[in-house]
Amino acid sequence: MKNYHLYAIGNALVDSEFEVTDALLEQAGVAKRHMTLIDAPRRAELLALAGHRHGKQTGGGSAGNTVVAFAQFGGSAFYSCRVADDELGRFYAADLAGHGVDSNVHSGALADPAHAVTGTCIVMITPDSERSMNTHLGATADLDASALDRDALGRSEIYYMEGYLAASPTGLDAALQGRALARQHGAALALTLSDMSMIRFCRPGLEAMVGDGLDYLFCNEEEARVWLDLEDFDAVMAALAPLATVVCLTRGAQGSVIIDRGTPHAVAAPTIHAVDSNGAGDMFAGAFLYAVTHGHTLQQAAWLANHAAAAVVSQYGNRLDAQAIARLQSGFAAQWGGASR
């Protein structure tokens, strides 16, 4: 039976990314830098506005991006998610498999095709590189505890929860049931806060995911400030520390701060020209968790994660290709003397 370094649960979304102006974003009434849940008519409206621009379709979903990144670096990963039995669902399942991620999308987790479509996300990228996401959950709104693969979870080192699941009662229940099972089997617990909108509108669900504490918490500086209602950065770090053994606090061009049992360690990021922030935090989490599960220190993991996130931000799209991953692995080996145990 296969063991996994990482088991994640989250939304399965097919991303369509468009380069737009701030004027179009305002015309469309889209909240900049936020994730907004939309229905099918609103999705059609936004596609009509943005569809004549260049669009790129990829597999997505926050935790989905993270497990793909993790597997690209060489880790073994399993993803619990839900898609419909439609063309996009088959595209999503093939995308996971093609990147070496095991999943349950072919073993009973498919939503009823009579009333569901695979979830999608319209990602609008403005010239300042910021991403604004408009998500039609579709089948992933029906994610529930039946999507958990309890055997795979019981054989995993880390259990990773996507904060976006706090918006769905059944998805939150599934994440929490998985959390309890992970704790029972001694797996480390990890959570990403995902987005400011989740903190503002779904905080009780996120608090339940945090529970009595985590091993790893991922968030960016803006999310941390909203979560804590604090502005002073030293106060933010001090208040975050009790939530997890290791807090990964990303700061964009300033790199990241890793708070290890209350002690912060700043790790610089490379200087880049940012064009698209979509997927940066997801990539950071995937690269970081890969490194810590393969024998590297937290600071070394943050170095790899900063560089991987910077590579994503330097291009359009939420995923890196095999050549970009190989360059990161080579740079990591040159800096730290190897990228695996």
Please report the DSSP string for 227-287 in residue order.
HHT---HHHHHHHHGGGEEEEEEE-GGG-EEEEETTEEEEE----------TTHHHHHHHH
Closest CA to 160 of 110, 89, 97, 101: 101
- At residue 54, the pLDDT reads 52
Each residue's pLDDT expressed in tens, for the chain with a length of 341 residues: 789 999 999 999 998 888 888 998 898 899 888 888 898 889 888 888 876 555 578 899 999 999 999 999 999 999 999 999 888 899 999 999 999 999 988 433 454 555 578 999 888 888 988 888 898 989 999 899 999 999 999 999 999 999 999 999 999 999 999 999 999 999 999 999 998 989 999 999 999 999 999 999 999 999 999 999 999 999 999 999 999 999 999 999 999 999 999 999 999 999 999 888 888 999 999 999 999 999 999 999 999 999 999 999 999 888 999 999 999 999 999 998 754 43
In a domain, 250, yes or no: yes
In a domain, 48, yes or no: no
Residues 6+ away with beta carbon under 8 Å from 269: 252, 253, 254, 255, 256, 306, 307, 309, 310
- At residue 338, the pLDDT reads 55
Q: Which amino acid is at 313?
A: V
- At residue 276, the pLDDT reads 85
Gyration radius of the chain's alpha carbons:
18
d(CA 94, CA 163): 24
The long-range contacts involving 36-45, CB below 8 angstroms and separated by at least 24 positions, are: 36/132, 36/133, 36/134, 36/135, 36/197, 37/135, 37/136, 37/137, 37/167, 38/122, 38/134, 38/135, 38/136, 39/136, 40/136, 42/134, 42/136, 43/120, 43/122, 43/134, 43/136
Closest CA to 332 of 307, 311, 298: 307
Domain with 158 in it: 4-9+62-115+142-336
- We report the CATH number of the domain holding residue 191 as 3.40.1190.20
In a domain, 41, yes or no: no
Domain count, the chain: 1
Place of tokens 């145990």: 341
Closest CA to 309 of 250, 247, 249, 224: 250
In a domain, 311, yes or no: yes
In a domain, 36, yes or no: no
In a domain, 69, yes or no: yes
In a domain, 204, yes or no: yes
- At residue 316, the pLDDT reads 85
- At residue 112, the pLDDT reads 54
CA distances in angstroms from 54 to 95, 124, 218, 219, listed in the order given: 21, 11, 31, 30
| Strand, coil or helix: 210 | helix
**Cβ atoms of residues 38 and 197 within 8 Å:** no
In a domain, 262, yes or no: yes
DSSP codes of every residue in 101-113: -EESTTTT--B-T
**Cβ atoms of residues 288 and 305 within 8 Å:** yes
β partners of residue 35: 133
84 DSSP assignment: B
